[in-house]
Structure formats: C-alpha cells, structure tokens
Structure 1
Amino acid sequence: MRREFKRYSIYVSGFTLVELVIVITVTAIIGGISSTFIRHSVMAYVNSEAYYELADRADISLRRMSRDIRNALPNSVWVSPGGDFVEFIPIKAGGRYYQDDFGANSMRVMVENVPVTANDQLVIYNLGIPGSDAYDGDNIRTITTAPNANVNQLQFAGAAFPIPSPASRFYIVNGAVAYVCDLANKRLLMVSNIAIPSVRPANFNAANARVVVGDVTGCSFTYSQGVMQHTGVMTVQLELSKNGGVARLLNLINVVNSP
C-alpha cells in the first residue's frame, strides 16, 4: 500500500533592506520633529521656573530694602552720583525731649523706656544741609549715659546741639547702612556699621558686608526730594538673571523727611 504525502508550502515574509531604510528614515524625521517641540516646551518650563524664582528673590530683597529706608533718619538718605549705592542712617529709637533742657549736655525725655546701648548716638533736627547734617557731625553726639533699657534722661559728649527741633524730637542711631550694587560679582550687598560722621562716599568695610541677593545683572538707585524736602522718592531698579530666566523689578519707596 502506497502512502501519499501532502506537500506543505512554507511562506517566509519580512522587510526588504529598502523598506527598513525607509522606516528608519521616517522614524528619525518624526523623532526630530517631536524632540524640537518637546525641547521648546521643556525649555519654556525651565525658564518660567527660573523667572519665578528670580522674581521672588528680587521681591524679597526690595521689600527688605524698602522697610529699612522707610525707617531711616529724616534727610539721611543719600545716593552716590553714579547710582551704584544708597546710604542712610537707621533709627533705633526716638521720642520727644523737654525743650527747657535744650542747650545743655543732658536732657530729659518724655518717654519711659529709651533703649540705650554702647556707642549709640543722639541726633536732633537733621536737615541734611550744612550746619545740620549728621554725616558732617553737625547735629550728632555720642551718648554717655550708661546702657539701660529704662533711660529717662540722656547725657552726651561734645558741644550743645546747634538747632533745636521745633517738635522737640530726638533720634537714637548707631552707624549708617548702605546697599551697594556689586555688579562685578553679580550681587547686591548690605554694608552696616558705617561710622558717623563720615565722608561721603564712605569707605565700605568688606567685613561688615553681607550678600542680600546674588545673580544680579542690573542694579541702580535714584533719589528725588519732594517739595520743601519733607518727602522724597527712592527708585530702585533690580535685575536678576539665571538659567535663561530674567526678572526685572522696579520699586518706588516713599521717604518721610520731617525731622
């Protein structure tokens, strides 16, 4: 008996070399186009994150500067001719004195708790003009009263004050402060403990300098005094740059100069 065997046909299918090259080429083109869109989206996200970080840091710095300048001794805000730094005298404490004591080296004050510490200085009627300028030493005296938190009488060294305050106001200070644009090192500095009286511009001591913010690529100060010098406006421009993000902020600070 003869057996019959069935023949099976085997078909082998696949890509030709030409088809494979075409697929690789098309895939590369689509991948290149997709990566371009993805890259722009990722870079936009990174830039926006960098911008918000810079804007937040710049805003905090300007707020701090605004607070300090608003608490400055009247008529003590001074901007360098180049606009690269601003100097002022912060107020530690203040109040009113008895007008009858003016002209002596000791005066009673109308407040119960006047904080006095070492090297504190007394200022009366600072107008920021010759004859009444704390920077020149005209109306600033070193307090000799022993440091105490409950002082009701202030004693000071030196001559009597030249001009009385019409409102009988006094201020206690302890050195000047400056905000300095250090663009060479891309930072904004705060220099403290500047001696008074001092020659302007002052010689800043690097040991007393602290970095307020870094990545600074633009910084300037301008100051305009108001009518009769009772008010002024400080304009601060600050630019920070990092990782492709750029934040530019401008802040106007009202300065009350009623002595």
Structure 2
Amino acid sequence: MTIRAGSGGFTLIELVTVIVILAVVGLGMVNFTRLGTRVFVDVTQRDQLLSDSRFLVERLNREIRTALPNSLRVTGNSNGHCLEFMPIRWSTYYFTLPVAPDTGTEAEVAYVTALDTLVPPPYTLQVGDQAIVYPLVASDVYETSDKSVAIDSVSAPVGGKVTLTFADTASFPQGSPSQRLFVINQPVSYCALADGSVRRFSGYGVNAVQPQLQAVDGGVLMAENLVNQLSAAAGSSSDDPFRVVPATLTRSALALVRLRFGRDAEVITFNNEVHLPNAP
C-alpha cells in the first residue's frame, strides 16, 4: 500500500477555519446564556419590586381604613412627606355620657360581644388610653382638647354593656349625633423619604404640630426604591405621595396615595383613593 505524503493531517487553513467556527459558536452560546441570565435577573427584580410595593400599599390601605375620623394630616418638604393618623383601638356606642354642663366620672358604653363569658373582651385597657367623642378637626385629636378624656378603668361586661371610668371629673363639650365613642392611644406615621425609602413610625407621642420624621428617628422600613419627586410643601404637587381630602356632608374623608417605585428603567405606579368609613 502506498501512502502519499501529507495525507494524515490538517492544513493550517483547515485548523484556522475550525477555530473560527468554534469561536463563533462559543460566542453565540455565551450571548444566549448572558441574555437568559439577564432576563431572569430582570424578572426577579421586577417581581421583588412589585411584591414590596404591593405589601406597603395593602398595609397602608388597611391601617388608614381603621383611622379615627378627622385624624389624618400631612406634612413634608423635599426631604420627606409624612401621613399621620390616629388608629382606633376600640370603637363603640355609648348609652350615657357626661356632656357639658353636666360633669361625671364614667360613661356606659355598648359591649359588642354577645357571649361575653365565652370569648375575650374586645377591649383591654392600656396605659395612655383616651376616650374621644365627636372629633371634627385634627386639633381635636392632637392638641389639648376636652373632647378626649383619660380612661382610668373598665368594668366587667354586664348585660352587654361596660362602664368606662375616667381619671378626673369629665365633661365632653358635646355628644356625637350617632352616639359614637372611640378609644385611642398613639398616632402612626407613614413617611416617604428623599432616600427612596418608606418608613412606618409609631410610639413617638402625640404632638400638636405634626412632626417631620426621618430615618434617624428610627421607624420600620416598609419599602425602598421610591422615585416620587417630593415637593417643598406637602400636597402642592401631583407627584406628592400623600394628600388628604376632608369629609363633606355627602362623603367620608379621602386619603389620596400616589406611590411610584422604580429600578433601572422599570417604574410601577400605585394610585389609591382610600375612603375612611368611620364617622364621628
């Protein structure tokens, strides 16, 4: 058998051609893998952004709906905007109430649980609890007002009723047209800050002038990546996160919430109109 010279190998041109083909295929596979990874990362970030923002909006909506009537107020500047409200610890109807010019030390209120011997009471007295009747403006809630009175004790339920005893002789300036009585304690604030975070503050006390809270004051981080353009005066811009529309004779008060969250080029906007169902 005759073997011709050079028939057992590859030429330089063949080797270079194979190397070029492998490089092109490898580059295509790398780009494909990179694209798939980027899509996965983008979807994961978008899902995380949507999940975090939905949690905040749902939590905020639920808390606002249980706020004391006429207790919502907004303050802020370019460093942050805060929505403050007074949560209701317990709401009920009263049967007797000391109203001026009469004075007294107690009020008889409804106990809404029928089988009071079988279930825990809906309200347990805490330090700092106040009974408030017919708050019409925020100053009735946050400033020194005779519309709120400190509660000293709560009686055991008798016949579907309990008696609230006040620390001092009390006299509410006027009663509620629907005989409503609310128990309150400490306010809550949600603040959208210039660093892109939204924080929830509580336990900072009742203040006549709404405080401008910041991250240095603590608070619980509720969300990040907020991209709202905060105006120098809260409520003066359509992009401000919080606005409050007072109640009228035909509707309850409204809390207008506009929150925009963004990451890279992705922006999610939530526009909410929260109605306060309670009436004083």
TM-score (norm 2): 0.75
> Are 1:41 and 2:36 counterparts?
yes
Which digits, 9 at most, give the CA deviation of each residue in 1:181-207, with x for residues without a partner? 1232x32111112323x1332254956
SS of residue in 1 equivalent to 2:220: strand
Is 1:118–1:147's contact at 8 Å kept on the other side of the alignment? no
Say if 1:88 and 1:176, in contact at 8 Å, map to a contact too. Answer: yes
Q: Percent identity?
A: 23
1:90 aligned onto 2:87: yes
Which of 136, 152, 160 does residue 143 from structure 2 map onto?
136
Q: Retained in 1: the 8 A contact 2:94–2:181?
A: yes
Whichever residue aligns with residue 101 of structure 1, its letter is P
Deviation readout 1:77-96 (Å, 9 max, x if unpaired): 11225571100000001212
Q: Secondary structure at the match of 1:237?
A: strand
In structure 2, relative to structure 1, the CA distance for the partners of 1:243 and 1:106 (3 Å cut) is same
CA distance in 1, matches of 2:218, 2:30: 50
CA distance in 1, matches of 2:10, 2:142: 89
From 193, 208, 214, the equivalent of 1:199 is: 208
Amino acid corresponding to residue 249 of structure 1 in structure 2: F
The one-character-per-residue Cα deviations of 1:34-92 (angstroms, maximum 9, x if unpaired) are 43344233212221121112211211111111111100000111122557110000000
**Which residue of 2 is the match for residue 4 of structure 1?**
none
Larger CA Rg, structure 1 vs 2 = 1
Alpha-carbon displacement from aligned partner over 1:94-138 (angstroms, at most 9, x marks no partner): 2122346323242322324543211111111011166xx211222
1:61 is matched with 56
Give secondary structure in 2 for the equivalent of 1:155: strand
**Separation in 2, partners of 1:54, 1:86:** 22
Task: State the AA in 2 paired with 1:98.
Answer: F
Q: Offset of 1:208 from its aligned partner?
A: 5.8
- Displacement, 1:17? 1.8
* Unaligned 5+ runs, structure 1: 1-6
SS at match of 2:59: helix
Structure 2 CA distance for partners of 1:100 and 1:45, relative to 1, 3 Å: closer
Aligned pairs, number: 248
CA-CA distance at 1:230 after TM superposition: 4.3
TM-score, with length taken from structure 1: 0.81
* Structure 2: gaps spanning 5 or more residues: 112-120, 229-239
Contact 1:80–1:201 under 8 Å retained in 2: yes
- After superposition, the Cα gap between the structure-2 partners of 1:208 and 1:39, relative to the gap in structure 1 and judged at 3 Å, is closer
- Structure with the bigger percentage of helix: 1
1:182 and 2:193 are equivalent in the alignment: yes
Match of 1:248 in 2: 269
- Look up the match of 1:22: 17
Q: State the superposition RMSD in angstroms.
A: 3.0
Name the CA distance, whole Å, in 2 between partners of 1:81 and 1:207: 15
Q: Give 1:94-133 correspondences, 5 Å limit.
A: 94-99=91-96, 101-103=98-100, 104-112=103-111, 113=121, 114-128=123-137, 133=140
Cα offset, 1:159, TM superposition: 5.6
Q: Indicate if the aligned counterparts of 1:233 and 1:254 stay in contact, CA closer than 8 A.
A: yes
